[in-house]
Amino acid sequence: MRPTTKKSLLARSLGVTTRNRQAVAGALLLLGVVVAALVSAVWTPYDPTAFDIASAVTPPSWRHLAGTDEFGRDVFSRIMVGGQASLGISCSAVALALIVGLLVGLPVGYVGGAVDMIVSRVIDVVMAVPGLVLALGVVALLGPSGTSVTVALAFAYSPIFARVFRSAVVATRDRPYVQASRGLGVPARIVLFEDILPNVLPIVAVQATTALAWGVMDEASLGFLGLGVQPPAPSWGSLLIEGRQYMFEAPWIAIGAGIAVVMAVLGTNMLGDALRDVLDPRDWSRS
């Protein structure tokens, strides 16, 4: 029999979120940047790529909330549109890494033996290299672009998810309800996806929020190096490198993008902490 809890996961999630001020604050921070990025698909205060030399390097005002850059482009509009690229790349990279990690870690952890040992050693070797260094190598091979950054980050994060899936499966595969299914001759794919996977997903969900925060920072880092989304399309990373050249004359160019990155990362981490509290089995007995 599969384990059950006293309350449904949805009820627990709502209860913890309501009484957890950190979760509410994180949700508001993340919601702010996500809504701005979504709205920018249909509307921005100004054309984010239109030059207006007469308004170049204008400080923040009611007309331009985050000021203008050296070409007179509205910085706030560029931050909004840049969120599409930065958040889109981060979410896509994490989703791809999650799929690869699932396809590798789930069967490897279930089979065990020599296959588990060999794949685990390969994962250890790959993870010995910092993720951002791996991503830099992949982008160097594919060339600078948003697609290259997505593939690079997915490649860098896949071993992490593979290890998480593998470890969670190893801890779950010998439980009585899994052994009962195997003893009844239930096909391995059914055991994996119906008996094991639902109990592994909570751990992976917490890891995914952490990876999403890394994705935002790593995308900004690669964009800052000029390896991400290419001009004239903006991203938070490209806005940072543009603003670096004018830190003394127009610091608001970089500060605005920096604030957006901080909001996204901080909001995601806060929600991740709350999600961990919701999914922590040790807390179920106290609910």
Q: Among residues 34, 23, 57, which one has the least CA distance to residue 263?
A: 34
CB-based contact 89:219 (threshold 8 Å): yes
Q: Where do the domains of the chain lie, and which CATH numbers do they carry? A: 9-37+68-284 (1.10.3720.10)
CB-based contact 70:78 (threshold 8 Å): no
* DSSP H/E element including 44: none
Report the chain's mean pLDDT, rounded to a whole number. Answer: 86
pLDDT digits (tens, 9 = 90+) for 218-263: 999 999 888 998 888 899 999 998 888 888 888 999 999 999 999 9
49 contact partners, CB below 8 Å, separation of at least 6: 73, 232, 233
pLDDT of res. 26: 85
Instruction: Assign 236 to helix, strand or coil.
Output: helix
CB-based contact 257:216 (threshold 8 Å): no
pLDDT digits (tens, 9 = 90+) for 8-28: 545 555 555 545 777 788 889
Integer Cα distance of 86 and 30 in angstroms = 13
Integer Cα distance of 229 and 237 in angstroms = 8
Matching residue, tokens 């923040």:
60
Percentage with pLDDT > 90 across the chain: 52
pLDDT digits (tens, 9 = 90+) for 151-170: 999 999 999 999 999 988 88
- For residue 87, name the pLDDT band (cuts at 50, 70, 90): very high
pLDDT of res. 162: 94
Report DSSP letters for 64-99, one per residue.
STT-B-TT--BHHHHHHHHHHHHHHHHHHHHHHHHH
CB-based contact 17:60 (threshold 8 Å): no
Q: Among residues 219, 246, 267, which one has the least CA distance to residue 71?
A: 246
Q: Give the pair of three-digit tokens for residue 43.
A: 């509307």
